[in-house]
Structure 1
Amino acid sequence: MTKTFRAFITDGDKSGRITERTIDELPKGEVTVKVHYSGVNYKDGLALDASTKVAKDYPIVPGIDLSGEVAASDTEEFKPGDKVIVTSFELGVGHDGGYSEYARVPAAWVVPLPEGLTLREAMIIGTAGFTAALSVHRLEERGTTPEDGPVLVTGATGGVGSMAVAMLAKRGYHVTASTGKQSEHYYLKKLGAAEIISREEVTPDKLRPLQKQRWAAAVDPTGGKPLASILSSLKQGGAVAASGLTAGVEIPATVMPFILRGVDLLGIDSGFCRMTLRQEVWKRAAGDLKPESLEDMTEEISFEELAQSLKDILNNKVKGRKLLKIQE
C-alpha cells in the first residue's frame, strides 16, 4: 500500500478540504479497503455542519458508503483482492468514511460484492439504492404485488426516489412518481414511471383523516406531511415504506387509516439492518431489482467537485445519483 493518500475531511464548519493522510491515521478495523467509488448522499451533506449532529466528532472523513478491493485484512473472512461494499453503520458519521483513497473498517460492516455488479454499479446503487431496494423488499415481503395497483414514489428525482422508480418498474409495477420538478418528467419516464404527479397533489392544503383510496403501496423518503397524506390515501390493506425526513419528522396523522383500512407503516432502517438481510437485499439489487437505467441516473464527479456537490444535494439541486470516482 502507498504511504500517503488523499482524503476529503470536514471540521464541521459547513465545508471540507482535500488532504494527505497516512495508513497509520486510519481508524481501527479488521479490513483495509482500497476505495474505488463512493456516493454523494444527503447525510454526507449534513455531516459538513456540526450543528446537525449527524457526525459524532470532528474532524471526520464523510462518505456513508464505498466500494473497492481489500488491501489488507486481519480476518479469514476477507483476503487482499476481494471486491467489497461497505454501507451504513457508523461509516462517515462516527468512523472515517468513503471519501478517501483508503478506508479501514470493522469486518462486520463488509459485504462481498455480489455477482452481477461491478464496483462502479454498486456505488451508483449505493446507500440510496440499497434503501430503495430494502423498501421494495419489505413491501413485497408483506405481500404487495404489481396486481394490487399503482405504487407511489415521493421525492422521485432524488437518490432513493430515482432508484425506487426504476426498481419497481423493473418488477412490473405501475409507478406513480411524485416530484416538484416539472423539468424532470422526461427523466422519470425514462426510469420507468407510468404516471407523474406534482408534489402538491400528494399533499393537499387540508389533510383529512381518510382520503380517496389511490395507491396500493408507497415508497416515501420524505416523511412529514406527505407521509401523513399517503397513509390516508392508501387502498385497503396497503402499506408505505418510510425511509426519510426531508419534509419533517412530525407526522400529522390519525389512527384512522390503520384501524379502518388496515394499512401498515413500514420503517426502513438501512443503517443497522441485520447482515443476513443486508446481503439478501444486495443480491436482489444485483439481480431482479437491478435497474436497467443505472447510467441514466448517474453523474460522476472528482474530489475537486465534491464540496460543491455536497452543498447541492442539501439544496435539492441533485438529480439521481452523484458518484465520486476515487481511483480505478
Structure 2
Amino acid sequence: MISAIVLKKINDLFEAEYKTNVNVDFLNVEDTLIEVEYSSLNYKDALAITAPNKIVKTFPFIPGIDLAGKVIESNNKNFSKGDRVVSTGYGLGEKYFGGFSSRAYVNSAYICKLPTNLSTKEAMSIGTAGLTALLCIQSLLKENIKPNDGPIAITGASGGVGSSSISILSNLGYDVVAITSRKEPNQNYLKQLGASKVYSLNEISNNQKPLNKQLWSAVIDCVGGEILSNLLTEIKYAGCAIICGLAQSYKLNTTVMPFILRGIKLIGIDSVYQNLQSKQNCWDNAKKLFKENYFQDNMKVIPLSEVLSYSEDLINKKVTGRLVISL
C-alpha cells in the first residue's frame, strides 16, 4: 500500500482526499518506478486540489507537478536502482499521475538525475518554480545583461519563481528590486533573500506614456497584466523583459515604442515542456547558483497529510516561500 492525495469526481462534485491505503496497482504504469521522498506544493497543485476541473481532466487522479526520490526499477538502461532523480513538467500532475504519492511511475524521458551536491529535499525546495527561475536567468545571461548595467526588477517577488530569482541574481552580484502585492508581511524576508529594495504594486509608476524614464536593465515578470505594461516603458536601452507567469492577468497592453526606440526584447519562458537536456543543465548547476541561505530560509517542510489545508492557504495568498512535502 502507498500514501497519496487522490482526486475524485462523483457525479458533478469533486473531492480531494489524503489516503494511506492506496494499492500500487492503482498507479498508471510507466517505464520507471520511483520511491518519492519529497514533492512540493505549487499554485497549480493547489488549484488542482481546490478546483480540480481547472487542471485535471480525468478522474480518479493523483496530482503533484514535482517529485524527487530514488529509482526502484527502470526499463531504461540509463537508470539504475537507487539513482536519485527529479521530474517536473511534461504533464506530470496534470495529464499523468504526479508526485503526491509515496511511489510514482514516470516516463524516463521526463526524468533528470540529481547531481551529488543536491539532495532530494533541496531539489524540491527549488522545484518547478526554481527551475523556471533558473531558465529565466539563463536567458538573461544570454542577453549579456551584466550587474553594472543597472537594477533588475522582479514582479511577483513573494512567490516561488520571484523569490528564487532574487536568490540567484543577488548571489551573482546583481542589484535586485522586488515588487510584490504583499510588501508589509514579506519585506524582511525578501531583503534576506537578497533584494536591495522592496516595492508594493502601488509604488510602481502607472504612467500611461509609451516611454518613461529608463530604470531597469531587465525585468523578470511573473504576473503579466498592467504591471508588466508599465515596466516595459522603463526598461533601459537594449534591455529585456523575461516573462513566465500571469498571476495578475494574461493580457498585455503595450506599444511598439520600447521595442523599436530602445531595442528591448520580450522573452517568454516555459519550464513545462522545456527540453530535458536544458533541464538537466539547470539541475547540475543549481546548488552553486542559489544563495546558501535559500535552502534554509525559503522552505517549510510539511507532511503529505497537510497538503489539502495548505492548498487553501496557497490559493488565498497566505503562503510565503516554498512548501516542500515529505513523503
- Normalising to structure 2: TM-score of the pair? 0.94
2:8 is paired with a residue whose SS is coil
Q: Distance in 2 between matches of 1:219 and 1:315?
A: 23
Question: Is 1:8 matched up with 2:10?
Answer: no
CA contact (8 A) 1:158 1:319 kept: yes
- 2:179 is matched with 178
Residues 101, 311 of structure 1: alpha-carbon distance in 2 compared, 3 angstrom cutoff: same
Letter paired with 1:202: I
Q: Secondary structure at the match of 2:283?
A: helix
Query: What RMSD, in angstroms, separates the aligned Cα atoms of the two structures?
Result: 1.5
Cα deviation for residue 85 of structure 1 reads 0.4
Q: Deviations over 1:220-251 (max 9, x none)?
A: 11111112112111111111111111101110
* 8 A Cα contact 1:203 1:225, kept in partner: no
Deviation at 1:202, TM superposition (A): 3.0
CA, structure 1 residues 17+197, in 2 after alignment: closer, same or farther (shift >3 Å)? same
Q: Deviations over 1:114-170 (max 9, x none)?
A: 232111100001111111111111110121111211011111111111111111110
- Please give the secondary structure, in 2, of the residue aligned with 1:245: coil
SS at match of 1:62: coil
Question: Residue 179 and residue 316 in structure 1: after superposition, are their counterparts in 2 closer, same or farther (change >3 A)?
Answer: same
Cα distance in 1 for residues equivalent to 2:123 and 2:243: 23
Q: Between 206-215 and 103-112, report the one with greater CA deviation.
A: 206-215
- Deviation string 1:256-298 (CA, Å, 9 cap, x unpaired) is 1111111111111100011111111112212234553222111
Q: Give structure 1 stretches of 5+ with no counterpart.
A: none
Counterpart residue number, 2:136: 135
1:198 paired residue number: 200
Cα deviation per residue 1:15-67 (whole Å; 9 max; x = unaligned)? 51012222222113111100000011011112121442x22322211110010
Q: Distance in 1 between matches of 2:310 and 2:33?
A: 26
Contact persistence 1:177–1:195 (CA under 8 A): yes
* C-alpha displacement of 1:312: 1.4
> Quick check: 1:133–1:289 contact (8 Å CA) kept in 2?
no
Tell me the distance in 2 between the aligned counterparts of 1:166 and 1:179: 15
Identify if the C-alpha distance between structure 1 residues 219 and 122 changes in structure 2 by more than 3 Å, giving closer, same or farther.
Answer: same
Alpha-carbon contact 1:170-1:292 (below 8 Å) kept: no
Distance 1:14 1:291 in 2: 41
> SS of the residue aligned with 1:152?
strand
Compared CA separation, residues 290 and 9, structure 1 to 2 (3 A): farther
1:26 counterpart = 2:27 = yes
* Structure 2: distance between partners of 1:141 and 1:273: 17
For residues 1-328 of structure 1, what are the structure 2 equivalents within 5 Å?
4-11=1-8, 15-19=15-19, 20-48=21-49, 49-52=51-54, 54-181=55-182, 182-202=184-204, 204=206, 206-289=207-290, 291-326=292-327
Letter in 2 for 1:72: E
For this pair of structures, how many residues does the alignment match? 321
SS in 2 for 1:186: helix
Task: Give the Cα separation in 2 of the matches to 1:70 and 1:197.
Answer: 44
Give the conservation status (yes or no) of the 8 Å contact 2:67–2:99.
Answer: yes
Alpha-carbon contact 1:34-1:101 (below 8 Å) kept: yes
SS in 1 for 2:251: coil
Distance 2:320 2:201 in 1: 16
CA distance in 2, matches of 1:203, 1:37: 41
Counterpart residue type for residue 186 of structure 1: N
2:215 counterpart letter in structure 1: R
Identity %: 37
CA distance in 1, matches of 2:310, 2:14: 13
CA distance in 1, matches of 2:244, 2:195: 20
Task: Tell me the SS of whatever aligns to 1:75.
Answer: coil
Following superposition, the deviation at residue 183 of structure 1 comes to 2.0
